[in-house]
């Protein structure tokens, strides 16, 4: 699931979008590029997120291949996914 776009479904950050940086058996470590930047990802229980079908290939590839990635890239990808969703609703 590394590099996938997810949405929180529980907690004070309900409905907020993040990108998964890495995962272990029970938790994912997610970033939004702002409140939870790459340097300090949020630890979230896997059962409290939903993986979105939106594919951000360049972010996923960069994370999995350990290429350089920035908080700006994360913020932009999340913003674009929200804009695309709002366009689909109209």
* pLDDT the model gives residue 84: 82
Number of domain units in the chain: 1
Torsion angles phi and psi, residue 47, rounded to 5 = -75, -5
Distance, CA of 63 to CA of 13 (rounded, Å) = 23
Residue 78 has pLDDT above 80, yes or no: yes
* pLDDT the model gives residue 11: 86
Note whether 59 and 68 are within 8 A (CB).
no
- In sequence order, which residues have a C-beta less than 8 Å from that of residue 64 and are 6 or more positions away? 2, 3
Q: What is the CATH number of the domain that holds 49?
A: 2.30.30
The residue range of the domain holding 70 is: 5-89
> For 26-71, how does the pLDDT look when each residue is reduced to its tens digit (9 = 90+)?
999 999 999 999 999 999 999 999 999 888 889 999 988 989 999 9
At 45 the three-state DSSP class reads strand
* pLDDT the model gives residue 90: 63
């Amino acid at each position: 699931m590394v590099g996938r776009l997810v949405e929180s479904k529980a907690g004070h950050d309900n409905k907020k979008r993040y990108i998964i940086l890495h995962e272990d058996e029970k938790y994912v470590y997610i970033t939004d590029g702002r409140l939870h930047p790459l340097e300090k990802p949020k630890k979230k229980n896997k059962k409290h997120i939903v993986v979105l079908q939106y594919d951000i290939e360049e972010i996923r590839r960069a994370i999995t291949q350990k290429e350089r990635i920035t908080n700006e890239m994360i913020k932009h990808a999340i913003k674009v996914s929200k804009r695309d969703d709002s366009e689909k609703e109209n």
